[in-house]
Amino acid sequence: MTAAAVGLSHSPLIGRNDPEPEVLARVDRAVAGARDFVRDFDPDLVVLYAPDHYNGFFYREMPPFCLATEAHAVGDFGSEAGPLSVDVDAAKALAQGVLDRGVDLTVSARMTVDHGFAQPLEVLFGGIDQVPVVPVFVNGVATPLCPVSRIRALGTAVGEAAAGLGLRVLFVASGGLSHDPPVPVLEGAPPPVADALIEGRPPTPEQRARGERRVVQAGRDYAAGSSGMIPINPDWDNRLLDHLERGELTEFDSWTVEWMAKEGGGSAHEVRAWIAAFASLAATGPYAMTSRFYEAVPAWIAGFAVATAQGR
């Protein structure tokens, strides 16, 4: 089987709160490199691991991860809205393959996704409907979270199942590394917020716009240093990238939810998408990381990374 992986941080603040031009130029170069890598690899199928930010998954039922056989993007923060081009046959085959390997996968026949899924598809492929994709939601914000070892098991099972498809498969991870954006938390939330997190009623356009303005302002405050949010942690982020580069994926099994939040903030758990994608690639055989970029970008509230890896 021929397989590859791309890890790409997302941020809804890209294009809204941009950092200094030199930072932007470095990020743009790294992203352009990833785009070239994807074009040269020319995948038949993309398996996309990404989190949700209370647009598709709510506490009424909150799975640790979920694979979609159909998916629709809500278009938050100006991201593309509409159906993703899901490869239904591949999605069903992967779902069965994962379950057969003893990982208790949830399946959605109509998943709602947000910028976490839409942004990497737009950035790498030019749109959410340009490439056959199997979307896999990985919970990265809503505690309680499962042990990271289960995310690695998920990624391994998906990779093994994908190896049976006879396709060129690209595993893509979407997620910031350390970051602590103002995503709401159920515990201690005032009743209307708790109710919204549990029930998941679609916000009115005004409510959505208000919420998005709040996040944009939080990015401005963070970049100005006037914010109580946990700082981006480049040491922790590079430690994660080191493990991914060296194929030391079992190291992540000892990373606890509490420690990750303390080191990297409330949304550091988005690195679960990266761990899943690299576990999938590793399950297809040895790999080499072919490019690695990292920059702390407070204006985007993101430890921002781009990495590519190729099966050998």
One of 10, 72, 269, 272 touching ligand LPTKUXOY (CB under 6 A): 10
Q: Does 176 bind ligand LPTKUXOY (CB under 6 A)?
A: yes
Shortest Å distance, C-beta 60 to ligand LPTKUXOY: 19
If we measure between CA atoms, which residue out of 242, 276, 39 comes closest to residue 149?
276
Rg (CA), the chain: 18
Q: CB nearer to ligand LPTKUXOY: give 181 or 311.
A: 181
CA angle 9, 11, 12 (to 5 degrees): 155
If we measure between CA atoms, which residue out of 173, 141, 161, 215 comes closest to residue 49?
173
Catalytic residues: 115, 179
Instruction: Give yes or no for a contact between 56 and 114, defined as CB atoms under 8 angstroms apart.
Output: yes
Shortest Å distance, C-beta 180 to ligand LPTKUXOY: 9
If we measure between CA atoms, which residue out of 287, 288, 289 comes closest to residue 305?
289
Q: CB nearer to ligand LPTKUXOY: give 102 or 226.
A: 226
Q: Pick the stretch among 8-16, 36-44, 158-166, 272-280 that binds ligand LPTKUXOY (CB under 6 A).
A: 8-16
Instruction: Give yes or no for a contact between 48 and 90, defined as CB atoms under 8 angstroms apart.
Output: no
Question: In a 10 Å sphere around its CB, with 0-12 CB exposed, 13-18 middle and 19+ buried, how is residue 228 labelled?
Answer: exposed
Q: Does 43 bind ligand LPTKUXOY (CB under 6 A)?
A: no
Q: CB nearer to ligand LPTKUXOY: give 102 or 192.
A: 192
Shortest Å distance, C-beta 113 to ligand LPTKUXOY: 12
One of 11, 108, 139, 156 touching ligand LPTKUXOY (CB under 6 A): 11
Q: Does 215 bind ligand LPTKUXOY (CB under 6 A)?
A: yes
Q: Does 12 bind ligand LPTKUXOY (CB under 6 A)?
A: yes
One of 154, 172, 302, 309 touching ligand LPTKUXOY (CB under 6 A): 302
Q: Does 79 bind ligand LPTKUXOY (CB under 6 A)?
A: no
Instruction: Give yes or no for a contact between 38 and 12, defined as CB atoms under 8 angstroms apart.
Output: no
> How many of the chain's residues bind ligand LPTKUXOY (CB under 6 A)?
14
Shortest Å distance, C-beta 54 to ligand LPTKUXOY: 7
Q: CB nearer to ligand LPTKUXOY: give 66 or 161.
A: 66
Shortest Å distance, C-beta 215 to ligand LPTKUXOY: 4
Phi-psi domain of 243 (left: phi exceeds 0; alpha: psi -120 through 50; beta: other): alpha
Q: Does 181 bind ligand LPTKUXOY (CB under 6 A)?
A: yes
Q: CB nearer to ligand LPTKUXOY: give 52 or 160.
A: 52
Q: Does 69 bind ligand LPTKUXOY (CB under 6 A)?
A: no
Q: Does 84 bind ligand LPTKUXOY (CB under 6 A)?
A: no
Instruction: Give yes or no for a contact between 162 and 24, defined as CB atoms under 8 angstroms apart.
Output: no
Phi, psi angle pair for 25, to nearest 5°:
-65, -40
Q: Which residues, including other chains, have CB under 8 Å from residue 157's CB and lie 6 or more apart?
A: 97, 98, 101, 102, 103, 105, 283
Q: CB nearer to ligand LPTKUXOY: give 163 or 271.
A: 271
Binding residues for ligand LPTKUXOY, per CB under 6 A? 10-13, 53, 176, 179, 181, 183, 215, 267, 270, 301-302
